[in-house]
C-alpha cells in the first residue's frame, strides 16, 4: 500500500525519528502504526510510544470526587484559547455538577444544556466528550493546570487523601501502564523480550553473541522493564529516592486512571 505523508508525519511525531526511517518502517509494516513503532524500536531508533497522549482535540477535563465516588467529565472545543478561558472552565464545572446530580442517563440532556446555554456565547462547537463514574473505598484526583491532563486514584477506605492526590499527580507525570508487575501479562513480557533481542542483534558489541546468551541478559532486564511501567514500583516523582508503594502503602491503591485531551 502507498504510504501517505500524513502517516509519516504521525509516526515522526510519535517517535521523534527522521522522515525517511519512518517511511521505511511504515512500508515494511504495511502502514500499521503500532508495528512501525516496534520496527523502529528493534533498530534501536525509538522508544515505546503511548497512544493515550496522541489525541488532538482541544478542551478540558474536570473531576469531582465525593468520598467513594468520582465523576470524570471532559468537554471538547475548537481552540486552545477558549479551553484556557475562565468561561470554559466555569461551563465545565457547571456541566460536571449537572451530570453528577442527574446520572449517566443525562448525557444527552447535558449536551442540550451546553448547546442552549453556552455554545452561542462561547462561539465554538462544544461537545461532551466523556462522562464516567468510578467508585471504591475512597477516590482522589489531580488535574494539571492546563486542564488537559488528569488522573484518578481509587484506593482503600482510610487511605490518606492528600497522599492519594500526590500519587494522582505522579500518574500524570510518569504515565504508568500497570498497577503492579503482577498485572503485566506474559504476552507483553515476551513481546518486549523479542524487541530487546532484535536491538541487541543490531548492536555491534552484542550481535556476535548467541541467542541463548542474549536471552539470559534480557531475562535479567525484565524486572527493570516491568518496574518502570508499574505504578507501585516507580520512583515517586516528588521524592525519587522512594518508590510509590513505600509512599502510600503497597495495598492502598485499588486502581488508577489517566485522562488526556
What are the tens digits of pLDDT across the range 123-139? 888 999 999 999 999 99
37 domain residue, yes or no? yes
Q: Which of 8-12, 117-121, 135-139 shows the highest mean pLDDT?
A: 135-139
Residues 6+ apart with CB under 8 A from 128: 73, 74, 75, 95, 107, 110, 111, 114
List the CATH number of the domain containing 19.
Answer: 1.10.8.10
256 domain residue, yes or no? no
Q: Phi-psi category of 260—alpha, beta or left, where left has phi over 0 and alpha has psi -120 to 50? A: beta
β 127-135/69-77 pair status: antiparallel
Are residue 147 and residue 42 in the same domain, yes or no?
no
Structural domain that includes position 197: 181-251
Are residue 14 and residue 44 in the same domain, yes or no?
yes
Q: What does the pLDDT read at residue 57?
A: 65
Tens of pLDDT, residue by residue over 145-193, are 989 999 999 999 999 999 999 999 999 999 999 999 999 999 999 898 8
Q: What does the pLDDT read at residue 129?
A: 92
Are residue 45 and residue 67 in the same domain, yes or no?
no
State mean pLDDT over 35-47. 80
Q: What does the pLDDT read at residue 52?
A: 36
pLDDT band at residue 244 using 50, 70 and 90 as cut-offs: very high
Are residue 151 and residue 103 in the same domain, yes or no?
yes
How big is the CA angle at 206 (ends 201 and 212), to the nearest 5 degrees?
Answer: 75
Secondary structure (3-state) at 26: helix
Amino acid at each position: 500500500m502507498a504510504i501517505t505523508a500524513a502517516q509519516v508525519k504521525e509516526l515522526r511525531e510519535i517517535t521523534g525519528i527522521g522522515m525517511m526511517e519512518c517511511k521505511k518502517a511504515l512500508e515494511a509494516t504495511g502502514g500499521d502504526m503500532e508495528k512501525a513503532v516496534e520496527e523502529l524500536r528493534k533498530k534501536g531508533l525509538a522508544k515505546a510510544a503511548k497512544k493515550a497522549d496522541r489525541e488532538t482535540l482541544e478542551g478540558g477535563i474536570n473531576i469531582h470526587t465525593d468520598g467513594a465516588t468520582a465523576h470524570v467529565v471532559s468537554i471538547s472545543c475548537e481552540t486552545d484559547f477558549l479551553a484556557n478561558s475562565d468561561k470554559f472552565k466555569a461551563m465545565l464545572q457547571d456541566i460536571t455538577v449537572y451530570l453528577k446530580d442527574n446520572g449517566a442517563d443525562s448525557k444527552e440532556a447535558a449536551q442540550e444544556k451546553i448547546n442552549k446555554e453556552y455554545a452561542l456565547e462561547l462561539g465554538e462547537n462544544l461537545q461532551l466528550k466523556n462522562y464516567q463514574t468510578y467508585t471504591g473505598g475512597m477516590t482522589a484526583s489531580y488535574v494539571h493546570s492546563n486542564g488537559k491532563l488528569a488522573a484518578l486514584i481509587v484506593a482503600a477506605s482510610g487511605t490518606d487523601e492528600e497522599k492519594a492526590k500526590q500519587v494522582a499527580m505522579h500518574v500524570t507525570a510518569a504515565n504508568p501502564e500497570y498497577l503492579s508487575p503482577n498485572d503485566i501479562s506474559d504476552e507483553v513480557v515476551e513481546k518486549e523480550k523479542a524487541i530487546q533481542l532484535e536491538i541487541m542483534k543490531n548492536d555491534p558489541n552484542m550481535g556476535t553473541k548467541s541467542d541463548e546468551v542474549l536471552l539470559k541478559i534480557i531475562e535479567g532486564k525484565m524486572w527493570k522493564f516491568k518496574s518502570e511501567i508499574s505504578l507501585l514500583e516507580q520512583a515517586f516523582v516528588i521524592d525519587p529516592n522512594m518508590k510509590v508503594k513505600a509512599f502510600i502503602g503497597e495495598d492502598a491503591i485499588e486502581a488508577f486512571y489517566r485522562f488526556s485531551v
